[in-house]
Structure 1
Amino acid sequence: MPKLSDKKLCADSECSHPILIAKALQDYYPQDCRFIHIHKGQSVYVYAMLKDRGNLFWAGSVQGSYYGDQEARLGYFPSSVVEETHALMPAEKWDFYCY
């Protein structure tokens, strides 16, 4: 059975550098602790994208006053709630997957 991690596109082997910056088009209230809460208009740093099947979920973090002095938390969110604003790595360099 294929693993979900085999379908991830990342900037590096550890998925530790953002691929792009996106802006939230709407609020997103997750029902699961693996997902992040996003406010409309908030910047989202995208660290991993799932390829195939419509890129349904991305992994990223939000930063700003919502978290106060806490570090930003990484989690998943639907790609449909954001729009890309700044690509940080050209797509042609995505030639490997995170494991």
Structure 2
Amino acid sequence: MLNELEQLAAKIGRVLHQADTLAAENQRLRAEIERLQAEASQLRADREAMAADRELLNIKIEEAQLRIQSILDKLPTASDARQLDLLGDGKRATSEGTQQAPGEHA
């Protein structure tokens, strides 16, 4: 009977040791879960901030595109009579379609 009690006490000791090990592992896992939840929360906040930044940048891009289009619309086209003759070729051309050099007389 004493031998059986010693075996039972040894088994109870092993079970208690295993329970302590499991409790420590459980506590470690709970701490890890809390850390991961905090990290996930921070990542969500970062994602929301980046989405807001992206939306702001999209608005700025659209505004810039509208300004650029407005500037382009104000520029004269190739067929526009208001276009500047930067080389002055139109003033030097003769009625026959040939050009006179400066100082040359027809």
TM-score bin, normalised by smaller chain: under 0.3
With CA pairs under 8 Å and 6+ residues apart, which has the higher RCO, 1 or 2? 1
TM-score, scaled to structure 1: 0.15
Structure having the higher helix fraction is: 2
The structure that is strand-richer by fraction is 1
Computing the radius of gyration from Cα coordinates, the structure with the larger value is 2
Q: If the length of structure 2 is used for normalisation, what is the TM-score?
A: 0.15
